[in-house]
Amino acid sequence: MSTFIGHKSKVFAVAIAPDGKTAVSGSSDNTLKQWDLETGKEISTFIGDSPIICCAVSPDGLTIIAGEQSGRVHFLRLEGGDIE
């Protein structure tokens, strides 16, 4: 078991990529973070306008969907392993 350090507030949602190598987490600190599950290191961060309350990874592992408390939904395409 590992503890991932990076969010500055509560984590509301976590999703694991289909390949099992990465995960994303959404927090009340308005960030969505992508994590390397093997090392526990943060890969990248997306900053929204309000808390990120839900997230998912597409079946092909290339798109992350993040929902904000404001009702806004983001479709984030992964480029070279990072959120773009």
Q: What CATH number is attached to the domain comprising 29?
A: 2.40.10.480
Residue 1 lies in a domain: no
Which residue range forms the structural domain that includes residue 29?
A: 11-83
Paired with 78 in beta bridges are 83
Residue 2 lies in a domain: no
Residue 33 lies in a domain: yes
pLDDT < 70: residue spans in the chain: 1, 80-84
Residue 63 lies in a domain: yes
Residue 4 lies in a domain: no
Report the C-alpha gap between 11 and 25 in whole angstroms: 7
Q: Which token pair is 42? A: 């943060």
Report the C-alpha gap between 68 and 70 in whole angstroms: 5
Residue 15 lies in a domain: yes
Paired with 68 in beta bridges are 52
Cα angle, residue 30 at apex, residues 60 and 3 outer, rounded to 5°: 70
Residue 48 lies in a domain: yes
